[in-house]
Structure 1
């Protein structure tokens, strides 16, 4: 029984007529249909000569088609979902980097993804059937001899994702079925997910948050996944009204967009209370948590996740347990500790690098001994984040180690400065960041998006000075129309000085 409940296919709860998957304008798929379709498509891929160990790129926007394609591919091979918005050069890089043998597209496909294909890559088209299931057909590329029909086992690599490297070349993260199963088990127990739950999937499905935090955890708990094509703040409340989701998980920027439209949708907000709202992928400023809980009348649970941990590492718990804004909660099925530079574990209240250990954590980066030597110490994975555990074991993050601003020897957590700025009534978005400085090494600036363009730098400095030590107050403010973000919606803190052409002061 070693393999029981340890693969992506095992995570599809039950084979009955409950609705597993739905989307606007698309037929519902039941668990019975979904399981059957996933197995049929996996067998079809085997027939195309694709099986265990083969890497299959998927370039499909969020949709039921993407969900089914991912599940089918992971069930017999290794799924490599890619951001459908990549340009041709980026697709070329990722096909080569993952050693892709095939590409799956939906219907006519994405031009840039198809343009990047070399003759040795098999192109497979997924099309939707009237009942909501999918069909696969080969459209071009090299003929491969059929493989024996074979399903993945718990130790096989289900999916290969890349770290969202803000500065360096992204690292390949091979995630095994057993890592996914462990992470999904932790998520379903942390949030007490059940067949009574309906989730609205807002996160991209080429990213661990969408794949594990939304898709797999919903299916493993027997709930219903609503999968619109991507996130649209203008449509969110309409979807809530139609599908009545009991929870959703999103990144901070999405929460802020949802919150900003809540006042216009008061009746919907009142009529459809969430059981809980989850935030991950980047820090959610405490002030936003306060506003969301007050406006949306649901507990907001901030959590902490990484690709290398197959998503969840720590989270604030559901009520009646205590959630502490400003922390990311504590480990659920994951050991969380603080380590100093020499590899010694620290006491509670001491700060250092956050390290984690658990069945959800991957064995290492692929073909990257140097990165692995740096990332793993005595069986602990070093997250690269700085933080401390409070007396109750809740984790408070103070920022990425490399994002910490060192102003003439005084260390500044940019997150603390972000939170103060966001409490200003005229500031909608804010990011504090380091700029090079001849004397100090680094100084601190902030980029902001404001509702009132007449606000002055003096006012902002005075406002920060009331709550922050003088050395933490940004020396300069850059008022922008929007803050630059990476593909997964993460703020580009490390690149800000470069993006704004700020040279040494």
Structure 2
């Protein structure tokens, strides 16, 4: 297996398209490789080499994709969410010990203010007129000389975990971690140079960076980069991009389904080989609806930042895609461990992984490393924080995040199970079940719900529906009907802290 990003791109035919975008020419593999050489020369001339960290704040699109792929062949990349406020940028830039911030020419937003506050170097990216998708040039006041190119054990990408209550942890991913993960994904999806991914995922997040961009390029395929996700524009983009697949989070798939009816002609002409879902559990009902709508298999993958994304994946036909399962081992070894003791077990427990795609450990956080990594049976295991079990066919079924499991007076309730029951209600479009603090029981079950267009169900009828289908202690005591459920930066619905967000908890 290849162990660096540069080696990953090396073998592919020069004239083949690599990066595309709305209304732009394709950038070929030769164009991408020569861009990588230009970027390396520019960065070296700024005194930046393999061990230096470059924070990247760019809008979604082809330049963000190529900036990641090319900067990571010369330095360490740290993509950040373009929606952050100045104080958030100041925290992340300082925490990362970034040497420079990379932004668009003409950008004058909060990331720049934070970099100036910290006295940090700024690199400007500009796109020449008529340039192919993703082609750019770099300029900066920084100067110096450097020449060390990254090796397999250099850090290629740094991301922060989304801390729900505690300080976010720094996850360094090596060149070899990213190369391994890209190849695992390409293998599990049987990607070839004929494949084209339409990317609608944010490119400051592991899912889009590795599954959409790096995995496709590792197979010699092409990536068409949308400027973000927009359900209203999705089918117009699909017509222009002509993809063989796309990857998204469940909330995006649900938004796409609401507009599928009026775009039947685009769907009929599409050459989709499969659809992929990851980053949160895909409700079984949504998987079935997607398959029926697009006439293509839906491949649910299971990933996390610490694994450079993919850990398990539903296989392609002729093997089954099981609704409600996150698939079979797809790269690293996946096992079940005791939730407290450092040993592997049979049955239900904490999902653990071991493999070449797994981070060497959190940076500067020995306490988190001691808690999340352990040695057993000749391997080093990472605790995912998810609870699950394998079925008799080797498919992994998640029962929820250990931190999200609702503990109602000693009864443990999986929010995913309650979601699944409520989504069977004919008038319910979206659900997120969460813990509501309770003075006597500790936690009570609550659910936030978005109804289908024109539907008129109320709290009482939804609770009655649930009561007929599951044990009384699992039935939500509170059902909140909303126009929209609050989501995190990557489109995932956040269970932890939702009671506070919705104002259901009295402030102490």
Structure 1 residue 410: Cα displacement: 0.8
Structure 2 length-normalised TM: 0.95
Alignment of 1:166-315 (within 5 A): 166-315=164-313
**75, 78, 90: which is aligned to 1:80?**
78
Residue in 2 that maps onto 1:375:
372
Does 1:5 find its partner at 2:7?
no
Residue in 1 that maps onto 2:456:
454
Q: Deviations over 1:260-292 (max 9, x none)?
A: 111100111111141011100001100100111
Residue in 1 that maps onto 2:97:
99
For the residue of structure 2 that corresponds to 1:403, the secondary structure is: coil
**159, 173, 194: which is aligned to 1:161?**
159
Residue in 1 that maps onto 2:342:
343
For the residue of structure 1 that corresponds to 2:479, the secondary structure is: strand
Structure 1 residue 145: Cα displacement: 2.1
Equivalents in 1 of 2:318, 2:410: separation in Å? 42
On the 8 A contact 1:351/1:388 being kept in 2, the answer is yes
Residue in 2 that maps onto 1:126:
125
**31, 39, 42: which is aligned to 2:40?**
42
Equivalents in 1 of 2:222, 2:304: separation in Å? 24
Q: Deviations over 1:144-166 (max 9, x none)?
A: 4221x232111100010011222
Q: Deviations over 1:317-339 (max 9, x none)?
A: 00001221111011112111111
Equivalents in 2 of 1:205, 1:232: separation in Å? 15
Equivalents in 1 of 2:402, 2:176: separation in Å? 29
Alignment of 1:320-339 (within 5 A): 320-339=318-337
Moved more, 418-427 or 407-416: 418-427
Equivalents in 2 of 1:72, 1:500: separation in Å? 42
Does 1:500 find its partner at 2:498?
no
Residue in 2 that maps onto 1:488:
490
Alignment of 1:409-424 (within 5 A): 409-424=410-425
For the residue of structure 1 that corresponds to 2:91, the secondary structure is: helix
Structure 1 length-normalised TM: 0.96
Q: CA RMSD in A?
A: 1.4
Equivalents in 2 of 1:42, 1:425: separation in Å? 55
For the residue of structure 2 that corresponds to 1:10, the secondary structure is: helix
Q: Deviations over 1:456-499 (max 9, x none)?
A: 22210111112211110000111112111111112120111111
For the residue of structure 1 that corresponds to 2:5, the secondary structure is: coil
Equivalents in 1 of 2:401, 2:173: separation in Å? 23
Equivalents in 2 of 1:107, 1:24: separation in Å? 20
Extract unaligned runs of 5+ from structure 2.
none
Q: Deviations over 1:240-276 (max 9, x none)?
A: 1122100011100110111111110011111114101
Equivalents in 2 of 1:90, 1:503: separation in Å? 26
Moved more, 455-464 or 396-405: 455-464
Structure 1 residue 343: Cα displacement: 2.0
Equivalents in 2 of 1:144, 1:126: separation in Å? 16
Equivalents in 1 of 2:329, 2:316: separation in Å? 13
Residue in 1 that maps onto 2:18:
20
On the 8 A contact 1:253/1:489 being kept in 2, the answer is yes
For the residue of structure 2 that corresponds to 1:150, the secondary structure is: coil
Structure 1 residue 14: Cα displacement: 2.0
On the 8 A contact 1:180/1:310 being kept in 2, the answer is yes
On the 8 A contact 1:101/1:120 being kept in 2, the answer is no
For the residue of structure 1 that corresponds to 2:25, the secondary structure is: strand
Extract unaligned runs of 5+ from structure 1.
none
Does 1:471 find its partner at 2:469?
no
Structure 1 residue 26: Cα displacement: 2.2
Equivalents in 1 of 2:225, 2:152: separation in Å? 27
